[in-house]
Structure formats: C-alpha cells, structure tokens
Amino acid sequence: MITPRFNTGRNFVKFIMRINASIKLFLTPALLFFASLGHAGNMLLTDHPLVGKIWDMNSRSYMDEAALFARINMADILLLGETHDNPQHHEMQQKLLKVRIETGASPALMMEQLDAESQPALDHALTGSNRDEVLSNVTGLIKFTDKEPYRQLLAIAIDNKLPVIAANISSLRLQPVIWFGYSAYDAGELKRLAVEEVWSDTRQNYLAAHMGGAHCGKLKDELRTGLTRSQRLRDALMADSAVPSIGRGVVSIVGRDHARRDTGMPLYFSARAPSARIFSIGFIEVSAGKTDPGAYEAESATGDAPYDVIWFSPRAERADPCANLDKAKGVQQKNKPESRSSRNRGQ
C-alpha cells in the first residue's frame, strides 16, 4: 500500500481532524460531482463520423484495431484514459485488457477507482477460493457509485489471476499539500518520486489553467495552486504504486488527465523507469460539428502529443455540474485551515 509521508508536527493530528470535519466545504460542486459518479444517461452523437476511429497523434494518421493491438502488446505500461461515466470507454478498456491477456501476458491491473488504503483488504479478498464471493468483495471496494463497469474489469483480472493495484490517493490525504505546499511532505520522498524533477513552468501553467476549467472556473488562485500540487503528487504516487510491477506489465485504468504524457503519470513512469515502454491511449468523446481528428486534444503543455493514440467514442449524456453552481456553497475562505505560522503563534 502506498502511504503518503507528511511532515507531522504536533498540531498535525488536530489539523487532520479539522479537515475531516469540513472536507466538503473545500470542494467545488464539480469536484463533488466527479467524486460520486453514477450512471450517465443516453449516448449522444452515435452517428458522428469519428466514432470508432483511432487516431495516431504523432503520425497524425488513422490506424485500425489490428495495428493498435500490435502497439499495445509491445508496451510495458499501458495507460487507458477514460471519461469515468462513459460506458463505451469501459468497453474499450475491457477489450484491450483481454487483448493483452490473449498474447500470454499477465499484467498487473492498476485502478484509480480503488483507494490505496484498500490494498490490504483487496489482497486478502483476492486470496478467496469462491470466485463469485471474491468478485463481490473486491467490487465493494470501488469508490465510485457506479461500480458495474469496474466490476467487469475486476472479473477479467480474477478469472486470469492478475494482481490488482489499488492506486488512488484520496483528496483528504493530500489536504496538507493543498494548503501548505510541498513543505508539508517528506523531502526525501518528493525526490524519490521525481515530483520536481519532471516539472517545468510550462507544465505548471497548463495544469493550473486546466484545473480552473475543471472546477467551473470558480477556483480561487490559492486553491488552484494547491490542487495543482496535489494532482502532481497524486500522479507521482499512483505511478509509484505500479513501478514494482513494470517487469510483468501494467495496464492502468485511469481518468484521461492522469494518462496524459505532458502532465500526467507517464512523466513519473519515465523518470522512475527510463527504459520502460509506455503507451497512452485517450478515449475521447466526439463533439457536434467537429470532424477533424487533429482538432481534438490539440493543446498540450509542451507542444508534444498528450497521448500516443486517441480513440473516439459517442458522448455520454450528463447533467452540467456547473449549472447550479451559484446556488451551491463555494469554497469559503473563512473555512481554510489556519497557517502553520499562525498556529505556532497561538492565533
């Protein structure tokens, strides 16, 4: 199990208790929406000309499934970046995992949908002898409301005796870094994880700008900076959880942002295992009237392709999480934890 290593002063426990009591006040409605994903609605734009097409972002050309399968079978680390509530993305993931297994590979299945704290319970459940009971127990550990798509991935892992990595680091556990910066984290661990080594101003600017968009454009600058720090550390820790399994191969089931080569987990994999062959696929929902494949995911932090390949799907119908933002409680400055210096002064 990955255990974040924070610098723990005498007020740290008191701080965590305060965070635990008020965590929802720190999160925007958009973040809370994604934390409790349920079923999406109908699939939209199913007749869009790009649906089902696979686009190589480096050669800027289409490829067929056979060519894609050959590429993924050469990878040590395969990242499958989903939109969490799109059922077609889950079907594509299941297909690609089965393709890897059919070649005789036995990769570790790494899942963002399982919190790292659940790894001991997950490992214990996987030792069971009753297949249906094992599947029920491990499915119960999934953190999302809609567990069915991930249950199917876990069923493939169980039936083929694949190890499963519970990779996610919860936002609650990253609160000290959000509010107090990397000084709240063990310096030696930050270096081992290559958190600063892989980073640059261009990556920082891109990720910070994207973080604002992901939260309905309502983030205060201080919280935007803190969430950017936590996203970087989460990616580094999730990659760290899979490093010991690279030799057997890793298939990573993660959100699309985590699979990005310019700002996500591939950066940390490359730093930790320079010889590892990494292949990143972004499952992308089509947009009405947008038929040029080169117009999708065109922005990146570095100018390089954010994914090796993008695979187009219909768009899942979903409610706009920002629609009622003005009616919801936003992030309130008065609820921010006091700084360490203030606590030390007894204020």
| pTM, 2 dp | 0.86
328 pLDDT more than 70: no
Indicate whether 6 belongs to any domain.
no
Q: What pLDDT is stored for residue 322 in this prediction?
A: 79
Q: Which residue has the tokens 């499952």?
A: 283
Q: In the structure encoding, which two tokens stand for residue 336, read together?
A: 């921010």
Q: Which residue has the tokens 């499915």?
A: 139
Indicate whether 1 belongs to any domain.
no
Q: What pLDDT digit, counting tens, does each position of 70-99 carry?
A: 999 999 999 999 999 999 999 999 999 999
Indicate whether 99 belongs to any domain.
yes
Indicate the range of 196-200, 248-252, 321-325, 342-346 predicted with least confidence: 342-346
- As for how many domains the chain has, the answer is 1
Pick the closest to residue 80 from 305, 315, 329, 280 (CA basis). Answer: 280
Tell me what percent of the residues of the chain surpass a pLDDT of 90.
75
Residues 213 and 299: their CA atoms lie apart, in Å, by 14
Q: Which residue has the tokens 């499958």?
A: 80
Indicate whether 251 belongs to any domain.
yes
DSSP state of 339: P
Indicate the range of 102-111, 166-175, 261-270, 275-284 predicted with least confidence: 166-175
Indicate whether 139 belongs to any domain.
yes
Indicate the range of 58-62, 174-178, 192-196, 339-343 predicted with least confidence: 339-343
The domain of 170 spans: 12-344
DSSP state of 185: B
Indicate whether 195 belongs to any domain.
yes
Question: What is the domain-level CATH number for residue 292?
Answer: 3.40.50.11550
Indicate whether 5 belongs to any domain.
no
Q: What pLDDT digit, counting tens, does each position of 238-258 carry?
A: 999 999 999 999 999 999 999
Pick the closest to residue 281 from 137, 116, 79 (CA basis). Answer: 79
What helix, strand, coil percent values describe the chain, rounded to 5?
45, 15, 40
Indicate whether 201 belongs to any domain.
yes
54-56 sheet: strands from edge to edge: 61-63, 54-56, 309-313, 278-285, 77-82, 250-255, 108-115, 164-168
Residues 27 and 223: their CA atoms lie apart, in Å, by 10
Pick the closest to residue 92 from 266, 269, 277, 259 (CA basis). Answer: 259
Q: What pLDDT is stored for residue 343 in this prediction?
A: 36
85 to 90, 130, 227, 246, 272: CA distances (angstroms): 9, 30, 22, 28, 31
Between 19 and 136, the higher pLDDT residue? 136
Between 33 and 240, the higher pLDDT residue? 240
Binning pLDDT at 50, 70 and 90, where does residue 288 land?
Answer: very high
Neighbours of 42 (CB within 10 A): 10
Q: What pLDDT digit, counting tens, does each position of 144-157 carry?
A: 999 999 999 999 99
**DSSP string of 43-63, one letter each residue:** EE-TT-TTTT-EEETTTTEEE
